[in-house]
Structure 1
Amino acid sequence: MVPTTRRRLLASAAALTAVLAGCIEGSTTDTESIETTTTTKEVETTTITDETVSVAAGEYETWEFSGPGSVEYEFSVADGPAVDSYVLSSQNFEYFQDGETFQTEAESEDSSDGDGMAVLGSGDFVVLVDNTDAGAASPPDDGATAQVEVEATVTR
Protein backbone atom coordinates (compact mmCIF):
# COMPACT_ATOMS: atom_id res chain seq x y z
CA MET A 1 0.00 0.00 0.00
CA VAL A 2 2.78 2.40 0.86
CA PRO A 3 4.49 2.03 -2.54
CA THR A 4 1.21 2.98 -4.33
CA THR A 5 0.75 6.11 -2.23
CA ARG A 6 4.40 7.01 -2.76
CA ARG A 7 4.02 6.63 -6.55
CA ARG A 8 0.95 8.84 -6.55
CA LEU A 9 2.77 11.51 -4.58
CA LEU A 10 5.78 11.33 -6.90
CA ALA A 11 3.52 11.49 -9.95
CA SER A 12 1.66 14.50 -8.50
CA ALA A 13 4.93 16.25 -7.69
CA ALA A 14 6.24 15.62 -11.20
CA ALA A 15 3.05 16.96 -12.75
CA LEU A 16 3.18 20.06 -10.54
CA THR A 17 6.82 20.64 -11.44
CA ALA A 18 5.96 20.41 -15.15
CA VAL A 19 3.14 22.93 -14.76
CA LEU A 20 5.31 25.34 -12.80
CA ALA A 21 8.15 24.96 -15.29
CA GLY A 22 5.74 26.01 -18.04
CA CYS A 23 4.82 29.10 -16.03
CA ILE A 24 8.44 30.00 -15.44
CA GLU A 25 9.38 29.45 -19.09
CA GLY A 26 6.58 31.79 -20.18
CA SER A 27 7.57 34.51 -17.75
CA THR A 28 9.95 37.29 -18.49
CA THR A 29 12.56 38.86 -16.30
CA ASP A 30 12.53 42.14 -18.23
CA THR A 31 11.13 45.05 -16.31
CA GLU A 32 7.92 46.19 -17.93
CA SER A 33 6.60 49.73 -17.71
CA ILE A 34 3.45 49.97 -15.63
CA GLU A 35 1.17 52.90 -16.37
CA THR A 36 -0.84 54.40 -13.55
CA THR A 37 -3.65 56.86 -13.83
CA THR A 38 -4.43 59.28 -11.06
CA THR A 39 -7.74 61.05 -11.13
CA THR A 40 -7.82 64.31 -9.24
CA LYS A 41 -10.99 66.15 -8.48
CA GLU A 42 -10.96 69.76 -9.57
CA VAL A 43 -11.24 72.17 -6.68
CA GLU A 44 -13.31 75.30 -7.14
CA THR A 45 -13.01 78.28 -4.81
CA THR A 46 -15.74 80.90 -4.95
CA THR A 47 -15.56 84.31 -3.30
CA ILE A 48 -18.64 84.91 -1.17
CA THR A 49 -17.59 88.45 -0.31
CA ASP A 50 -14.54 90.68 -0.29
CA GLU A 51 -15.67 94.13 0.78
CA THR A 52 -15.87 96.73 3.52
CA VAL A 53 -19.34 97.15 5.03
CA SER A 54 -20.88 99.60 7.48
CA VAL A 55 -22.79 97.76 10.18
CA ALA A 56 -24.86 100.17 12.28
CA ALA A 57 -25.47 99.55 15.97
CA GLY A 58 -28.31 97.04 16.35
CA GLU A 59 -27.81 95.73 12.78
CA TYR A 60 -26.03 92.84 11.07
CA GLU A 61 -24.84 92.02 7.58
CA THR A 62 -25.12 88.61 5.88
CA TRP A 63 -23.84 86.79 2.80
CA GLU A 64 -25.63 83.64 1.67
CA PHE A 65 -24.06 80.58 0.06
CA SER A 66 -24.75 76.87 -0.40
CA GLY A 67 -22.81 73.78 0.70
CA PRO A 68 -21.29 71.32 0.60
CA GLY A 69 -17.85 72.81 0.88
CA SER A 70 -15.27 74.35 3.12
CA VAL A 71 -15.93 77.97 4.06
CA GLU A 72 -13.22 80.31 5.29
CA TYR A 73 -13.74 83.86 6.47
CA GLU A 74 -11.66 86.70 7.81
CA PHE A 75 -12.75 90.08 9.12
CA SER A 76 -11.20 93.20 10.53
CA VAL A 77 -12.95 96.18 12.10
CA ALA A 78 -11.36 99.24 10.45
CA ASP A 79 -13.33 101.64 12.65
CA GLY A 80 -15.88 101.23 15.42
CA PRO A 81 -16.76 98.67 18.07
CA ALA A 82 -15.92 94.98 18.27
CA VAL A 83 -18.40 92.68 16.50
CA ASP A 84 -19.40 89.04 16.36
CA SER A 85 -18.94 86.99 13.22
CA TYR A 86 -20.66 83.67 12.56
CA VAL A 87 -21.18 80.98 9.96
CA LEU A 88 -24.74 79.71 10.44
CA SER A 89 -27.03 77.20 8.75
CA SER A 90 -30.18 78.78 7.33
CA GLN A 91 -32.17 77.24 10.23
CA ASN A 92 -29.85 78.70 12.86
CA PHE A 93 -29.93 82.05 11.06
CA GLU A 94 -33.70 82.02 11.57
CA TYR A 95 -33.14 81.33 15.28
CA PHE A 96 -30.68 84.25 15.37
CA GLN A 97 -33.24 86.56 13.71
CA ASP A 98 -35.94 85.45 16.17
CA GLY A 99 -33.71 86.12 19.18
CA GLU A 100 -33.55 82.42 20.06
CA THR A 101 -30.54 80.29 20.96
CA PHE A 102 -28.57 79.37 17.84
CA GLN A 103 -25.70 77.03 16.97
CA THR A 104 -22.75 78.17 14.87
CA GLU A 105 -20.64 76.32 12.33
CA ALA A 106 -17.78 78.76 13.05
CA GLU A 107 -17.53 81.92 15.14
CA SER A 108 -15.39 84.85 16.25
CA GLU A 109 -17.08 86.77 19.04
CA ASP A 110 -16.51 90.19 20.59
CA SER A 111 -13.51 90.90 18.42
CA SER A 112 -12.03 93.60 16.21
CA ASP A 113 -10.55 90.98 13.93
CA GLY A 114 -10.86 87.27 13.48
CA ASP A 115 -11.16 84.34 11.16
CA GLY A 116 -12.72 80.95 10.99
CA MET A 117 -13.21 77.85 8.90
CA ALA A 118 -15.87 75.17 8.73
CA VAL A 119 -16.41 72.09 6.59
CA LEU A 120 -20.10 72.03 5.73
CA GLY A 121 -22.48 69.47 4.32
CA SER A 122 -25.27 70.19 1.87
CA GLY A 123 -27.61 73.04 2.63
CA ASP A 124 -27.88 76.80 2.75
CA PHE A 125 -25.66 78.90 5.02
CA VAL A 126 -24.79 82.50 5.85
CA VAL A 127 -21.68 84.37 6.90
CA LEU A 128 -22.86 87.01 9.36
CA VAL A 129 -21.22 90.09 10.90
CA ASP A 130 -23.22 91.13 13.95
CA ASN A 131 -23.33 94.55 15.66
CA THR A 132 -26.30 93.67 17.88
CA ASP A 133 -26.49 92.33 21.40
CA ALA A 134 -27.47 88.84 20.16
CA GLY A 135 -23.93 87.49 20.62
CA ALA A 136 -21.04 88.23 22.94
CA ALA A 137 -20.33 91.73 21.59
CA SER A 138 -22.79 94.54 22.26
CA PRO A 139 -22.82 97.85 20.45
CA PRO A 140 -21.79 100.78 22.62
CA ASP A 141 -24.41 103.14 24.01
CA ASP A 142 -23.38 105.85 21.57
CA GLY A 143 -24.69 103.68 18.69
CA ALA A 144 -21.37 103.52 16.87
CA THR A 145 -21.28 102.00 13.41
CA ALA A 146 -18.63 99.37 12.73
CA GLN A 147 -16.68 99.61 9.47
CA VAL A 148 -15.77 95.99 8.82
CA GLU A 149 -13.56 94.53 6.10
CA VAL A 150 -14.89 91.05 5.33
CA GLU A 151 -13.53 88.32 3.07
CA ALA A 152 -15.15 84.91 2.75
CA THR A 153 -14.66 82.03 0.31
CA VAL A 154 -16.13 78.57 -0.15
CA THR A 155 -14.12 75.74 -1.67
CA ARG A 156 -15.84 72.76 -3.25
Structure 2
Amino acid sequence: MRHRHLVSLHASHLETLASWFPDAWSCRRWGGPAFRYPFTMRSFREDLQLDEITSRGLLGESGELLGFGQYYARWGHCHLARLAVASDRRGEGLGARLIQLLAREGGKALATEACSLFVFPDNPARRLYRRLGFVETRPPANAWTDRPDILYMTVELERLEEAVGD
Protein backbone atom coordinates (compact mmCIF):
# COMPACT_ATOMS: atom_id res chain seq x y z
CA MET A 1 0.00 0.00 0.00
CA ARG A 2 3.01 2.32 0.13
CA HIS A 3 2.44 3.37 -3.48
CA ARG A 4 -0.89 4.94 -2.63
CA HIS A 5 -0.62 8.64 -1.98
CA LEU A 6 -2.75 11.78 -1.69
CA VAL A 7 -2.89 14.41 -4.40
CA SER A 8 -4.90 17.49 -5.26
CA LEU A 9 -7.68 16.63 -7.67
CA HIS A 10 -7.33 17.01 -11.43
CA ALA A 11 -10.32 17.34 -13.78
CA SER A 12 -10.24 13.62 -14.66
CA HIS A 13 -10.33 12.68 -10.98
CA LEU A 14 -13.31 14.96 -10.45
CA GLU A 15 -15.23 13.20 -13.22
CA THR A 16 -14.45 9.82 -11.67
CA LEU A 17 -15.52 11.03 -8.23
CA ALA A 18 -18.79 12.39 -9.62
CA SER A 19 -19.52 9.00 -11.20
CA TRP A 20 -19.54 7.40 -7.73
CA PHE A 21 -22.81 9.21 -6.88
CA PRO A 22 -25.46 8.11 -9.39
CA ASP A 23 -28.53 9.48 -7.61
CA ALA A 24 -29.71 12.33 -5.39
CA TRP A 25 -29.86 10.17 -2.26
CA SER A 26 -26.24 8.97 -2.43
CA CYS A 27 -25.01 12.40 -3.51
CA ARG A 28 -26.67 14.30 -0.66
CA ARG A 29 -25.90 11.68 1.94
CA TRP A 30 -22.24 11.99 1.03
CA GLY A 31 -22.05 15.66 0.12
CA GLY A 32 -24.63 17.16 2.45
CA PRO A 33 -28.24 18.33 2.08
CA ALA A 34 -27.34 21.39 0.00
CA PHE A 35 -25.37 19.41 -2.60
CA ARG A 36 -27.12 19.88 -5.94
CA TYR A 37 -28.37 16.90 -7.91
CA PRO A 38 -28.50 16.37 -10.76
CA PHE A 39 -25.18 18.17 -10.98
CA THR A 40 -22.98 19.50 -13.73
CA MET A 41 -19.22 19.32 -13.37
CA ARG A 42 -19.31 23.02 -12.54
CA SER A 43 -21.94 22.66 -9.79
CA PHE A 44 -20.19 19.53 -8.48
CA ARG A 45 -16.93 21.46 -8.15
CA GLU A 46 -18.69 24.44 -6.56
CA ASP A 47 -20.58 22.29 -4.05
CA LEU A 48 -17.35 20.51 -3.08
CA GLN A 49 -15.92 23.95 -2.28
CA LEU A 50 -12.59 22.88 -3.75
CA ASP A 51 -11.23 26.42 -3.52
CA GLU A 52 -12.12 26.72 0.18
CA ILE A 53 -11.65 23.22 1.64
CA THR A 54 -8.50 21.12 1.37
CA SER A 55 -9.45 18.21 -0.88
CA ARG A 56 -7.35 15.16 -1.65
CA GLY A 57 -7.58 12.11 -3.85
CA LEU A 58 -6.04 8.76 -2.98
CA LEU A 59 -4.41 7.38 -6.11
CA GLY A 60 -3.38 3.88 -7.07
CA GLU A 61 -0.27 2.74 -8.93
CA SER A 62 -1.69 3.73 -12.32
CA GLY A 63 -2.91 7.13 -11.15
CA GLU A 64 -6.52 5.99 -10.85
CA LEU A 65 -8.70 7.61 -8.18
CA LEU A 66 -9.33 5.14 -5.37
CA GLY A 67 -10.59 7.46 -2.64
CA PHE A 68 -11.41 11.05 -1.81
CA GLY A 69 -11.64 13.18 1.30
CA GLN A 70 -11.52 16.71 2.62
CA TYR A 71 -10.34 18.29 5.86
CA TYR A 72 -10.71 21.62 7.60
CA ALA A 73 -10.56 23.07 11.12
CA ARG A 74 -13.70 22.59 13.21
CA TRP A 75 -14.04 22.89 16.99
CA GLY A 76 -10.28 22.48 17.48
CA HIS A 77 -10.07 19.30 15.41
CA CYS A 78 -8.96 18.33 11.94
CA HIS A 79 -12.44 17.60 10.66
CA LEU A 80 -12.63 14.95 7.93
CA ALA A 81 -15.44 15.29 5.43
CA ARG A 82 -16.89 13.74 2.28
CA LEU A 83 -14.87 10.56 2.63
CA ALA A 84 -15.38 8.10 -0.22
CA VAL A 85 -13.73 4.98 -1.61
CA ALA A 86 -14.44 3.54 -5.06
CA SER A 87 -17.16 0.93 -4.56
CA ASP A 88 -15.28 -1.74 -6.52
CA ARG A 89 -12.22 -1.30 -4.26
CA ARG A 90 -13.88 -1.46 -0.85
CA GLY A 91 -12.56 -4.07 1.56
CA GLU A 92 -8.93 -3.50 0.54
CA GLY A 93 -7.96 -1.23 3.44
CA LEU A 94 -8.20 1.91 1.34
CA GLY A 95 -10.57 3.66 3.75
CA ALA A 96 -8.12 3.26 6.62
CA ARG A 97 -5.23 4.46 4.47
CA LEU A 98 -7.22 7.44 3.20
CA ILE A 99 -8.15 8.49 6.73
CA GLN A 100 -4.60 7.98 8.00
CA LEU A 101 -3.07 10.14 5.27
CA LEU A 102 -5.72 12.86 5.53
CA ALA A 103 -5.35 12.95 9.32
CA ARG A 104 -1.55 13.17 9.13
CA GLU A 105 -1.62 15.98 6.62
CA GLY A 106 -4.51 17.81 8.23
CA GLY A 107 -3.21 17.44 11.78
CA LYS A 108 0.11 18.93 10.77
CA ALA A 109 -1.39 21.69 8.60
CA LEU A 110 -3.92 22.68 11.27
CA ALA A 111 -1.61 22.11 14.27
CA THR A 112 -4.04 19.81 16.06
CA GLU A 113 -3.76 16.42 17.73
CA ALA A 114 -7.30 15.17 17.06
CA CYS A 115 -9.65 14.45 14.18
CA SER A 116 -13.42 14.43 13.92
CA LEU A 117 -16.08 13.46 11.42
CA PHE A 118 -19.83 13.12 11.00
CA VAL A 119 -21.45 9.82 10.05
CA PHE A 120 -24.96 8.45 9.67
CA PRO A 121 -25.62 5.63 12.18
CA ASP A 122 -26.40 3.12 9.41
CA ASN A 123 -23.31 3.91 7.33
CA PRO A 124 -21.15 0.74 7.08
CA ALA A 125 -18.03 2.93 7.34
CA ARG A 126 -18.93 3.52 10.99
CA ARG A 127 -17.39 0.11 11.79
CA LEU A 128 -14.12 1.23 10.20
CA TYR A 129 -14.14 4.48 12.15
CA ARG A 130 -14.60 2.57 15.40
CA ARG A 131 -11.80 0.16 14.50
CA LEU A 132 -9.55 3.18 13.90
CA GLY A 133 -10.30 4.48 17.38
CA PHE A 134 -13.02 7.03 16.68
CA VAL A 135 -15.55 7.34 19.48
CA GLU A 136 -18.98 8.92 19.45
CA THR A 137 -18.84 12.30 21.14
CA ARG A 138 -21.40 15.00 21.74
CA PRO A 139 -20.78 17.97 19.46
CA PRO A 140 -20.83 21.46 20.97
CA ALA A 141 -24.31 22.48 22.08
CA ASN A 142 -24.68 25.10 19.34
CA ALA A 143 -23.71 22.70 16.54
CA TRP A 144 -26.12 22.28 13.66
CA THR A 145 -25.40 18.58 13.91
CA ASP A 146 -27.13 18.27 17.25
CA ARG A 147 -29.64 15.95 15.61
CA PRO A 148 -30.28 12.25 16.11
CA ASP A 149 -29.67 11.16 12.52
CA ILE A 150 -25.99 12.20 12.45
CA LEU A 151 -23.24 11.05 14.80
CA TYR A 152 -20.16 13.08 15.68
CA MET A 153 -17.01 11.01 16.20
CA THR A 154 -13.50 11.98 17.32
CA VAL A 155 -10.09 10.35 17.66
CA GLU A 156 -6.67 11.41 18.89
CA LEU A 157 -4.17 11.28 16.03
CA GLU A 158 -1.79 9.13 18.06
CA ARG A 159 -4.53 6.54 18.62
CA LEU A 160 -5.41 6.58 14.92
CA GLU A 161 -1.79 5.95 13.91
CA GLU A 162 -1.57 3.04 16.36
CA ALA A 163 -4.75 1.51 14.94
CA VAL A 164 -3.69 1.81 11.31
CA GLY A 165 0.00 1.02 11.63
CA ASP A 166 2.10 1.44 8.50
Which has the bigger relative contact order, CA under 8 A and spacing at least 6? Answer: 1
TM-score, length-scaled by structure 1: 0.25
TM-score, length-scaled by structure 2: 0.24
